[in-house]
A = this chain, B = another copy of it.
Amino acid sequence: MEAGNTRSYHHGDLRAALLAAGYELALAGGADAVTLRETTRRAGVSPAAAYRHFASHEDLQLAVGAAAMADLARSIEAHQAGAGDPEPAARARQRLIGVGDGYIAFALDAPGAFDIAMFGLFTMEHAFAPETMGDTGRTPFQLLTDALADLVGLGLLRPEQAEPAAITCWSTVHGFATLATSGPLRQHPRPELDA
């Protein structure tokens, strides 16, 4: 079943296949493009089969969105990878910048995936769900609060300002990504940003 070309009645791992097909559709056309019927069609399966793995169309979209969110986390992690400054303070700042850069890079490089990642913008227990974590086992939101916690630990940020700072950072970056993705801003350059 693992090298599955045995096109038999049972698929083997339809749930993963549906997620993959859905992600492909999302990449091309955003959340609205990942329709239940087209997703099942791509997986070579009947529409109703999806209901064995997802409670509803929205549930499928949320699952695809969670996968996209995990890729967002990976994008942030990749942008943080070069944070090798010997100075702890500078390194902490680099990692915070990495959050913003990775967030915005993902939104610009894969607007469709970004769109579905923000689909039904978290019930927020969602923001800590395991399936939205990147390779380091942290969600995008956790990567942000981690970076800010580092600054607090170095005395660069007052503890009681950590939470407001998180909200402000996230707002700015998210707002910029939104405006740049589906808004009036379309420039190619990777703009330097504050965070």
Contact = CB atoms under 8 A, between A and B. Distances in A.
Interface in A169-195: 170-176, 178-179, 182-185, 194
Interface residues of A, number: 22
A123 B170 CA distance: 25
Nearest to A193: B168
Given A121-B183, A179-B121, A168 B174 contact: no
Contacts of A78: none
Interface string A137-178: 000000000000000000000000000000110111111101
A74 B178 CA distance: 23
Which DSSP category, helix, strand, loop or mixed, fits chain A's interface? helix
B183 A167 contact: no
Contact of A167 (B122, B170, B171, B179): B179
Contact of A121 (B124, B178, B194): B178
Given A167-B179, A173-B175, 4 more contacts: A122-B184, A170-B175, A174-B178, A175-B178
A172 B177 CA distance: 11
A167 B192 CA distance: 13
Contact of A172 (B122, B123, B172, B184): B172
A119 to B, nearest CB: 10
A127 interface: yes
A13 B122 CA distance: 41
21 contacts: A120-B182, A121-B178, A121-B179, A121-B182, A122-B183, A123-B184, A167-B176, A168-B172, A168-B176, A168-B194, A170-B175, A170-B179, A171-B171, A171-B172, A171-B173, A171-B175, A171-B179, A174-B178, A175-B175, A175-B176, A175-B178
